[in-house]
Structure 1
């Protein structure tokens, strides 16, 4: 004799798991009305779907950037799916926001540590598998960054396509607005370091070597190459290091000068830039 499955039971299971109505009804039928067994059924279904999607690319998704209430820290996470149709879904964005909230509260040491934390009573790694089963696409967290400073500003560019954290040296007057301007600069100009001290020697050596080859190829004497290459290197610093970049909102200043004009000595101590799929 089959067990009668009530609409309220189906709705209760749906509220708890987020699974579709027909999936919930089928789970309760398979479990003969046993609620816990129905939850297990849905979890196993999610695991099977997840296993079948492991080789799929999940290059769509959202970037969530958040700063703590005290302004002393911030996080960026990238939560992925397979299609932009899912990426713009409000439930998927809300799920990513929840993961970001856990990351902001706990500040785990690594991406693996983040996935081991708990979200709504479930380990995040299991919640990702569950969402894969519900949505039918591979769902994962691929990037996680954290920043701490005297003042951290978080910025999300576009429709959750890019996230930036900027850490400033002081919580000075005007720091919030200035930090947002600098975050927008980072989003647009993609610097590789705060200043030239942050660029590794191998990158510098490569830039000098390329410059010398270009100079000699142009027919200039080899003895001039070193001097001209140094000039090209300075241009490289100006283009690629944040504090030396021309401020996009006021080309008469670089970022270092702009921050100093906001508050004497104000500077950037850390930044993080995470772009979807990059």
Structure 2
């Protein structure tokens, strides 16, 4: 039987992130074979993952990252079961590493199949389920492209956003971040009027008309008054029309134009835990 030293246990712990006792047990069972010990730990993770497959993973970390050339951005959530794990430094680092890896892929399925230090991302998540003892999974996966992409992660990693601007101009980085902060705080349903589904507008018009009827307004006036309420709906719920959170005297679109007269917001992505 191979002699298992403290250095061996620590080495396996460094490689896998598993607990000291788990690493020692895995090495003993594998008779000192590191590859077999790693495989055994991963199998343990698979067993834990299967046992927790029906658990809700609504906590975790939302991470947004942008490519070096500022043309692409990705925002993901790495989900777990408890806020305690979601705040763990190692967990947040794993989420950040996965977000940076995600810049190279176009979908969650592609990311899950990607190589992560010799194993696939999906295998890494199973491994970490075994290590942590909670269900770990990629939740949201969103990409955004543009002439200049910026990001914002809200304190505690609960919300992460991306915004795209029409040009890389002086002040674009600050503007993109400020607009991303706006999207995080105000949760718009669309970029502008064109992005709002027609069924939503029809429903809002019907609600407005019913309210007006209840107030005793004449039927002939309902359409015009309802249109005014829809304009208010756009102002409250579409990113570029919202009041800018740092200066309520201007809209987000006006703020961006104050940075550069030709600058516009061309897209955004927002993901949140829960």
TM bucket normalised to smaller: over 0.9
SS at match of 2:244: coil
Q: Which residue among 109, 119, 123 is the counterpart of 1:122?
A: 119
| Alignment partner, residue 53 of structure 2 | 54
- Please give the alpha-carbon distance, in whole angstroms, between the structure 2 residues aligned to 1:255 and 1:36: 55
Work out whether residues 46 and 134 of structure 1, in 8 Å CA contact, stay in contact via their aligned partners in 2. yes
Deviation (angstroms), 1:3: 3.4
* Aligned residues: CA RMSD: 1.0
Aligned to 1:80: 79
2:29 alignment partner in structure 1: 30
Within 5 A, what are the aligned runs for 1:2-151? 2-104=1-103, 106=104, 108-151=105-148
Deviation at 1:74, TM superposition (A): 0.7
Separation (CA, whole Å) in 2 of partners of 1:170 and 1:14: 47
The unaligned stretches of length 5 or more in structure 1 are: none
Per the alignment, residue 260 of structure 2 pairs with 263
CA contact (8 A) 1:238 1:246 kept: yes
3-state DSSP class of the match of 2:39? helix
* Structure 1 residue 274, shift from structure 2 partner: 0.6
From 150, 153, 159, the equivalent of 2:150 is: 153
Q: CA deviation at 1:112?
A: 1.3
What is the match of residue 250 of structure 2?
253
The runs of 4+ residues in structure 1 deviating greater than 4 Å are none
Q: String of CA shifts for 1:157-191, please: whole Å, max 9, x gaps.
A: 11111101000000111111111111111111111
Q: After alignment, is 246-255 or 167-176 more displaced?
A: 246-255
Q: CA-to-partner distance for each residue in 1:111-143, whole Å, 9 max, x for gaps?
A: 111111111111000000000000111111111
Query: How far, CA to CA, are the matches of 1:67 and 1:109 in structure 2?
Result: 14
Q: Deviation of residue 249 (structure 1)?
A: 1.3
Corresponding position: 1:217 with 2:214:
yes
Paired with 2:15 and 2:182, the residues of 1 have a C-alpha distance of 42
Return 5+ residue gaps in structure 2 as ranges: none
Quote how far apart the aligned CAs of 1:271 are.
0.2
Give the equivalent residue in structure 1 for 2:227: 230
Q: Report the Cα offset of residue 70 of structure 1.
A: 0.7
Name 2:205's counterpart in structure 1: 208
What TM-score, normalized by structure 1, do the two folds share?
Answer: 0.96
Q: Is the contact between residue 98 and residue 119 of structure 1 (CA under 8 Å) also seen in structure 2? A: no
